[in-house]
Structure formats: C-alpha cells, structure tokens
Structure 1
Amino acid sequence: MTADDAPSVAARDDLAGVVDLFGWLTRAELSRALSELAFKQRAAVDDEAIAAAIDIAVAEYALVPAPPAALSEAGATPETVAPPSGANGGDTDAVADPDADRDAVALAVGPAAFPSLPADAEDLPHILDVPDRSVDREALAAAVLDRLSADAIAAIGESDTERLETLADVTYDIEAWAPVDAGDIRDRIVDEADS
C-alpha cells in the first residue's frame, strides 16, 4: 500500500470493517491483513502508512484497545487469549521490546466507527490463520469509557481544543454504541470549552 492508497484502502471505517470480520485483531494481525489486501489489489505495501492509519483510527475511537477481560477466542480461556505483555513471553523482570508490546495490543471496533469492508476483504478469513473470536461489549465499553475520561483530562490539561472537540463527539458516539453514560465527561469538556 502506498501513502496515496492509504485513505482508500485503510480508511478508519475500512479498518473497523476488517477488525469486525474477526471480532478483534492485534495490531500486528491488522497490519498483516492490510498488507494482504494491498497485495490483492496489486498495490505496493507501505508499512508506515498502515501504522499511521491504525494510529489515526485508534486516536479517533474507530478502533479501541481491548482489555484481556473483554476478549474471547474459540478454545481459549480469557487468561490465555491476551498476547504476552512483553516480547519475552511475559517475563516481567526482563526488558520488553516496546514495539512488540505495541504489535500485541488487541483492537476492537470502537464507538466512532461505521464498519465497512474494503474490496477483497471477504477473502481475509481464508488468508489469515485466526480462530473464532468475540468481544464482551460490556467489558470493552467500560474500558473505552475509562480511556475517554483519561483522554479528556489530558486534553484539558494541554488546552487542546481540537482534541476536546473530537472527544466531545465521541461522548455521543459511545452512548449510542453501548449502555453507558458519558454525560459527566461531556459536561467537563463543555465547561472547559466555555471557559
């Protein structure tokens, strides 16, 4: 995928559509899926463009990091579903590779997404060796609400009005997406914007 192809192949809703095909994917699995799509579309693969597209989707809440408690996989228990937290298989005393941790983050469809499938995406389940997976929406929604609150506090602390506008929109998205109340977060954002 080239940088010019990134918006059409890896638009945030297309990314969400790819993740939705599987229930959840790690960043590494999603990157591989996007590389496979680019190959099928006879486009050059640009790993930096793929990583940037995923970062944007996560920042805009189209994709959200999913906690291990929200993940399930056919034939696995919740304790064995989550990838190890370090590159060394979970040995917390050894130094972990930060890039390995980043690639192991599980991503699920977030509240700001309208999942759509890019061309040839229907072939991905046959290409990727990924077991049947699902996401506990209640556990995911609680984690997303916590993240939204932390992001709002950070944006208020940095007086980042553009980020606050994005987060205000997400407070409405999350309420339509899950049975949660983001009113307190929205009120805090509005109060900051009005001051």
Structure 2
Amino acid sequence: MGDGPAGSEDDAPSVAARDDLAGVVDLFEWLTREELSRALSELAFKQRAEVDDEAIAAGIDVAVAEYALVPAPPAALSEAGGSGDRGAALADLTAAADRDAESGAVALAVGPAAFPSLPPDAEDLPHILDVPERGVDRETLSEAVLGRLSEDAVAAIGAGDADRLEVLADVTYDIEAWAPVDAGDIRERIVDELDG
C-alpha cells in the first residue's frame, strides 16, 4: 500500500499513513480496530499489495498514539437501528472496551491531530464493508479525549519522556481547535516539565 500502514515504519510516511487511516475511519464516523484492519486489508487486496497484518496493527497504534485516531467511549457512539442485533453489538462493544483497551472491538474515531485523507480505492469501502450508518457524539468524545490527554501527560511526566511530552504539547493545541475544550492546564504542566 505504498506509504500507507503496510509500508515503511519510518517517521516520514507515518503522517501520511495516519491521515489515510483517519480518512478511512471518517467514511464511517467510527470503526472498531478489527473493522479498520479489515478495511485496510481490503484496500491492500484491491491495490494488489501484500497484506501485512503486523504493519497494519503498528500503523493503527501510531495513529492512536499521535491522536489522529482516538478510542471512543461507547457512550459517544450511535448506530442505525440501535435496537435488537445492533443494540447487542454496541453492548458487546461496551463490554469489550471495559475488558481490554487493546481489544479489536474497541471503537476508533477521528482525533484532533488528524487531517483525514483518502487512500486510493477507499471510496469503494462503504460498498465492501457491511457497516450500518453510524454517528459520534462529539461532546462526549472530546471529554474522553481530554481525559486521556491528561492521563498521557501525567504518565509522560512521570517517565521523564520529553519526546512524548513534545507530541502531547502539540495535541493540546489540536484539541482546542477540534472541540470546545480548554487544554490550557495540561499544556502548562507539560511546558513547565519541558522547561524545568
């Protein structure tokens, strides 16, 4: 898939890869990790490229770490026909999210650091994947992302990880442009640590 998630893991293609991942998720509002992996495998197949499941998983991990994709709490998710089987699917998603944050069932939405772009042939994905119409409650999502950003900052400060803190400092600006939230306190703690 060229510079996409199945390509090199160098820093240079990672931005393009994460924005392509965000573009695929943006087509559907949200996808589980498992659904996103399947979508990327379908794209690789259409492009006659070799499917590298490990590289796909690593690409998703990078996009999540850099806030191009964000784990979405079940309370922020909606799905057409939210009763019966579909309601059960969201209940399963809630249970999986509670059980294991790395589970393939965790829902991912487009995050504040993304500039979604569509990789070649991605426009065919809605016809390939059997995914109902979906929605994301941005207010609930942004509160969850702000909470995660605060936790990540505390962890990075505790670990003395200056590189991670630089990334998170950028995200504090991204999230304020993305949603009506104030990340000033988090940014101040990060800057104090970097300057200290």
Instruction: Give the shorter-chain TM-score range.
Output: 0.7 to 0.9
Deviations 1:20-58 (A, max 9, x none): 000000000000000000000000100000000000000
Instruction: Give the whole-Å Cα distance in 1 for the aligned partners of 2:161 and 2:18.
Output: 22
186 and 158 in structure 1: CA distance in 2 versus 1, 3 angstrom threshold: same
Instruction: Give the whole-Å Cα distance in 2 for the aligned partners of 1:39 and 1:165.
Output: 37
Aligned residue for 2:108, secondary structure, equals: strand
Aligned residue for 2:95, secondary structure, equals: coil
Unaligned runs of 5+ in 1: none
> Is 1:85 equivalent to 2:95 in the alignment?
yes
Which of 3, 25, 36 is 2:31 aligned to?
25
Partner of 2:45: 39
Aligned residue for 2:44, secondary structure, equals: helix
> Is 1:63 equivalent to 2:73 in the alignment?
no
Query: Deviation at 1:5?
Result: 6.2
RMSD in angstroms over aligned alpha carbons?
A: 2.3
Instruction: Give the whole-Å Cα distance in 2 for the aligned partners of 1:79 and 1:66.
Output: 17
175 and 84 in structure 1: CA distance in 2 versus 1, 3 angstrom threshold: closer
Sequence identity percentage: 76
The count of aligned residue pairs is 185
Checking the alignment, whether the CA contact within 8 Å between 2:74 and 2:94 is kept in structure 1 is no
Instruction: Give the whole-Å Cα distance in 2 for the aligned partners of 1:194 and 1:79.
Output: 49
Checking the alignment, whether the CA contact within 8 Å between 1:68 and 1:79 is kept in structure 2 is no
Aligned residue for 2:70, secondary structure, equals: strand
Which one has the bigger helix percentage?
2
Checking the alignment, whether the CA contact within 8 Å between 2:70 and 2:109 is kept in structure 1 is yes
Partner of 1:142: 143
> Which amino acid in 2 is paired with 1:27?
R
Task: Calculate the TM-score normalised by the size of structure 2.
Answer: 0.88
> Is 1:76 equivalent to 2:82 in the alignment?
yes
Instruction: Give the whole-Å Cα distance in 2 for the aligned partners of 1:39 and 1:85.
Output: 32
Partner of 2:177: 176
Query: Deviation at 1:102?
Result: 1.2
Partner of 1:191: 192
Query: Deviation at 1:194?
Result: 1.0
> Which amino acid in 1 is paired with 2:171?
V
**Would you identify which runs of 4 or more consecutive aligned residues in structure 1 move more than 4 Å?**
5-8, 77-80
> Which amino acid in 2 is paired with 1:63?
L
